[in-house]
Chain A
């Protein structure tokens, strides 16, 4: 798998935080999200992109992105925890 490709994400839609990713699959492993550290939005044409920086139990940091035009999730950044 390469960074930027669509990935499978389990998320909760609705509630006070409109979209909340809960787990995702990367390199055939399920990663449970320990903390959503930050969220922000950006635009690409008419598509709105929701960005989430999240950590997993190993304190690795990931940036997940949900694109509204294609309703797909992507992993944009991976930083291994020390």
Chain B
């Protein structure tokens, strides 16, 4: 079963504010430079789409009402929605902030049919949270996600085994999850436009062109997918921890960039330490004002988790880059992760550093992020940011957003 919350952020805002119900609204970020995060179905009828600038959206829909998003609200509601799903099966995979897969195989005896489970879930989500969702039921995840997409909003579509070939025969290949615009274009150049054509194309031909994923593409074209639903507790640990931010304005001055870098290093360091992780590879991502984006990284001899170490290494990378333009976005990422090794520090300087970090962490744990911070970060900072697709309700992938 795949469940997709309909126009999630916009629907939540319409529930919060009765004056917004049945009106064209769009949720935007809190930064000065922001794009449409999502829009209500009333706004979508005018052509307002996710990713549009505010100017573009207003051109489509002059009466569009803009609402600044509240990530703390949406993440809390996602946690509550997930707990509703767990009333019906323990096998819930949170795919993104507004989508989940459920394996209901083991629940059918208790609830009689997949359709009944879907209706009960829809009712409970609507009654408790006032939100609608589209549900797809199918023999596997690939088809369940396809099914939920077939009717929006408030849809319920079941694909039975016998219906798969006729459904996929003329369905555009881009409708399958995992086939994006680039892959769609490559396939079209090979004369493959539909799922039927993809499923009939030989594995060896697809492997020659796409490597190992060629075999998966062939199976996808036939509606075959044996990937299991992976609940949170069974997810593999993150391979990296990072944060990025779009700067309030394009910046050329290195000293200002360094302040933002320190902020990001502190955020990454905090998450590493909270989850007892360290990493050896520090990566710095830079996006210029013309959207050219690149990443430079260095791998250290010893793993780190201290914010100042992350910052200093970020600075090393930054100082080696000759910036061609003003910078729009900065990102810091630590990978090559291991569980933190506890080593008693030899030198007094290092012992002091560890104690100070521990004290800062304790205070920020108690009173909130950046309650106590570095002197050079003169202004208070709350992470509003964008909810990453990797966000999860628990664990190292959970980020607490400021309200």
Contacts and interface: CB of A to CB of B under 8 A. Distances in A.
B257 interface: no
Interface string B348-381: 0000000000000000111111010000000000
B365 A42 contact: no
Contact of B18 (A44, A49, A55): A55
Interface in B380-403: 400-403
A68 B12 CA distance: 24
Given A40-B73, A40-B76, A40-B77, A45 B15 contact: no
B366 A46 contact: yes
B19 A40 contact: no
Contacts of A40: 72-73, 76-77
A45 B16 contact: no
Contact of B16 (A38, A76, A82): A38
Given A51-B73, A51-B403, A82 B12 contact: no
A55 B366 CA distance: 32
Contacts of B401: 42
Contacts of B17: 37, 53, 61, 79
Contacts of B369: 45
Given A45-B366, A47-B368, A37 B15 contact: yes
Contacts of A43: 400
Interface string A15-48: 0000000000000000000010110111111110
Interface centre among A45, A47, A81 (most CB of B within 10 A): A45
Contacts of A82: 19
A79 B12 CA distance: 17
Contact of B368 (A44, A53, A79): A44
Contacts of B371: 45
Nearest to A34: B18
A45 B73 contact: no
Nearest to A81: B19
A42 B383 CA distance: 13
Contacts of A76: 403
Nearest to A82: B19
Q: Which size bracket describes the interface of A in this complex?
A: 20 to 34
A4 B190 CA distance: 60
Contacts of B364: 45
A37 B76 contact: no
A42 B16 contact: no
A35 B21 CA distance: 15
Q: Which one of B12, B16, B77, B369 has the highest number of Cβ atoms from chain A below 10 Å of its Cβ? A: B16
Interface string B72-102: 1100110000000000000000000000000
Contacts of A79: 17, 19
B16 A37 contact: yes
A33 to B, nearest CB: 13
Interface string A44-69: 11110101010100010100010000
A43 B71 CA distance: 12
A42 B76 contact: yes
B16 A49 contact: no
Interface in B119-149: 130
**Most interface-central of B76, B130, B403 (chain A CB within 10 A):** B403
Contacts of B403: 42, 44, 49, 51, 65, 76
A80 to B, nearest CB: 10
B73 A42 contact: yes
Interface of A: 35, 37-38, 40-47, 49, 51, 53, 55, 59, 61, 65, 76, 79, 81-82
Q: Which 8 A-B pairs have the closest CB atoms?
A: A42-B72, A44-B368, A45-B368, A38-B16, A45-B367, A53-B16, A40-B76, A42-B403
Given A40-B73, A44-B368, 16 more contacts: A37-B17, A38-B15, A42-B72, A42-B73, A42-B76, A42-B401, A42-B402, A44-B403, A45-B364, A45-B365, A45-B371, A46-B366, A51-B403, A61-B16, A61-B17, A61-B18
6 contacts: A38-B130, A41-B76, A45-B369, A46-B366, A49-B403, A61-B18
